[in-house]
Amino acid sequence: MKYLSEVQIDRAALQHNTRSLTLPHTETFAVIKANAYGHGLDVAVECLDGNVDGFAVDDIEELVAVRAITSKPTLVLGYVPCDHVEEAVRLDGELAIYDVRRLQGVADAGALLGKRPKIHLKIDALLGRQGLLPEEIPDFLAKLRNFPQIELVAAYSHFGNIEDTTDLSHAHDQTTAFAEALEVIKQSGWPNIARHESATSAVMVHESPHVGNRLVRLGVGIYSLYPSAPLSRTHQALNLQPAMRWVSHLAQVKRLPAKHPVGYGLTYVTSRETPIGIVPQGYSDGYDRGLSNCGEVLVHGVRCPVLGRIAMNMFAIDLTLAPQAQQEDEVVLLGSQGEDAITAEEIAQKIGTIHYEVVARISPLLPRTVV
């Protein structure tokens, strides 16, 4: 046992999933924000550096981490504070820009460093989030002409509901709005600008050579998670492979008498003599408190129910179905053991959220090991 608790990442699965979603007519950028959706940014970069054309991160801290491993093109999707723009340009980060106030700082950083900064114009095409509204584009481009040292390499947007395969009407409206905005940019003096709009879900249902996107941003699919339940049914042929196992080990095994409380709040009381195990993980590690009295883990290949409330650093499980369990035996919180598996989707359903959140919230302090 190298670690008491760890997140194990399957290198072959990450690479398989990336290949399964890679399209021959586009470049592939792997989205590794939020600690690579909980899988470990450094681990994901090391595993995928030879399989993708670039990476996409959220912030300057993630860009710094990427640059410690690779020099491949890296798009910074989120906001970079003014004080950090120079560092981002020094590290050759390609910046998402969506307001004219950022242009001067980017240009100044480029001049200071002797570089020509690359930017991607983020267009808010009916998403209502980060980005420049289409009607604001002409004014932005007029200002951009004052900064010829800045290279506008791409414009992009993001879908808001394309994973709902029963109704793609809004996605079609977004594509139309984005295409119209691209035409304005091209007619304004940037005829060869690249475009991108597809993340994993759009790669599955929208992307094709005639769309004209030069790159795609692969995120959740790389990590074996389908963007939605309908897509998991319609795209089973992709055969996405689970990439994560979250494991711990039993810190104690003992028997409690009947009518004995378990954990804070006395929310569970044994009805009979019960063998229990103590798992040294808790909500501070990302194991959600909502799994109190309803979660399950795997021990010796069988499901063992969570008893009582999840605490900050530990919780109890019922070992009735695993009577041979001993201290330091492996416990799987997420992933497979034997012929069974605990999935992010089932955890999400129990706590009323989405599977993205389940994996992204696993503590970055837990070791990530490649298997």
Q: What is the pLDDT of residues 85-118, one digit of tens each?
A: 999 999 999 999 999 999 999 999 999 999 999 9
Do 140 and 214 lie in a common domain?
Answer: yes
The average confidence (pLDDT) of the chain is 97
What integer pLDDT is reported at residue 319 of this predicted model?
98
Do 200 and 333 lie in a common domain?
Answer: no
The yes-or-no verdict on residue 218 having pLDDT over 90 is yes
What integer pLDDT is reported at residue 59 of this predicted model?
98
Do 152 and 249 lie in a common domain?
Answer: no
The yes-or-no verdict on residue 174 having pLDDT over 90 is yes
pTM for the whole thing? 0.95
What is the torsion angle, in degrees rounded to the nearest 10, for the CA atoms of residue 348, residue 174, residue 122 and residue 156?
A: 90
Print the domain residue range for 290: 244-370
Closest residue by Cα to residue 217 from 19, 1, 30? 30
Do 31 and 68 lie in a common domain?
Answer: yes
Mean pLDDT, rounded, for 245-258: 98
Task: Say if 1 falls within a structural domain.
Answer: no
One-letter-per-residue 3-state SS of the chain: CCCCCEEEECHHHHHHHHHHHCCCCCEEEEECHHHHHCCCHHHHHHHHCCCCCEEEECCHHHHHHHHCCCCCCEEECCCCCHHHHHHHHHCCEEEEECCCHHHHHHHHHHHHHCCCCEEEEEECCCCCCCCECHHHHHHHHHHHCCCCCCEEEEEECCCCCCCCCCCCHHHHHHHHHHHHHHHHHHHCCCCCCEEECCCHHHHHHCCCHHHCCCEEEECHHHHCCCCCHHHHHHCHHHCCCCCEEEEEECCEEEEECCCCECCHHHCCECCCCEEEEEECCCHHHCCCHHHCCCCEEEECCEEEEEECCCCCCCEEEECCCCCCCCCCCEEEEEEEECCEEECHHHHHHHHCCCHHHHHHCCCCCCCEEEC
What integer pLDDT is reported at residue 1 of this predicted model?
86
Q: How far apart are CA 149 and CA 344, in angstroms?
A: 46
Do 149 and 74 lie in a common domain?
Answer: yes
Q: Of 206, 238, 270, which closes a domain?
A: 238
Do 84 and 217 lie in a common domain?
Answer: yes
Task: Say if 100 falls within a structural domain.
Answer: yes
Mean pLDDT, rounded, for 223-237: 93
Is the model more confident about 365 or about 209?
365
CATH code of 310's domain: 2.40.37.10
Mean pLDDT, rounded, for 339-356: 98
Mean pLDDT, rounded, for 282-288: 98
Mean pLDDT, rounded, for 63-78: 98
Q: How many domains does the chain have?
A: 2
Tell me the pLDDT band of 155, cut-offs 50, 70 and 90.
very high
Task: Say if 304 falls within a structural domain.
Answer: yes
Q: Of 238, 253, 281, which closes a domain?
A: 238
Task: Say if 6 falls within a structural domain.
Answer: no
Task: Say if 108 falls within a structural domain.
Answer: yes
What integer pLDDT is reported at residue 166 of this predicted model?
82
Task: Say if 132 falls within a structural domain.
Answer: yes
Active site residues: 33, 264
Do 50 and 94 lie in a common domain?
Answer: yes
Mean pLDDT, rounded, for 309-337: 98
Joined tokens for residue 170: 């809004």
What integer pLDDT is reported at residue 353 of this predicted model?
98
Do 256 and 108 lie in a common domain?
Answer: no
What is the torsion angle, in degrees rounded to the nearest 10, for the CA atoms of residue 354, residue 359, residue 361 and residue 362?
A: 150
CATH code of 194's domain: 3.20.20.10
What integer pLDDT is reported at residue 241 of this predicted model?
97
Do 283 and 197 lie in a common domain?
Answer: no
The yes-or-no verdict on residue 164 having pLDDT over 90 is no
Task: Say if 363 falls within a structural domain.
Answer: yes
Mean pLDDT, rounded, for 238-252: 97
The yes-or-no verdict on residue 63 having pLDDT over 90 is yes
Task: Say if 366 falls within a structural domain.
Answer: yes
Distances (CA, A) of 340 to 8, 233, 304, 330, 332: 17, 20, 12, 14, 10
Do 223 and 261 lie in a common domain?
Answer: no
Q: Of 223, 238, 253, which closes a domain?
A: 238
Do 293 and 212 lie in a common domain?
Answer: no
The yes-or-no verdict on residue 236 having pLDDT over 90 is yes
Do 297 and 345 lie in a common domain?
Answer: yes
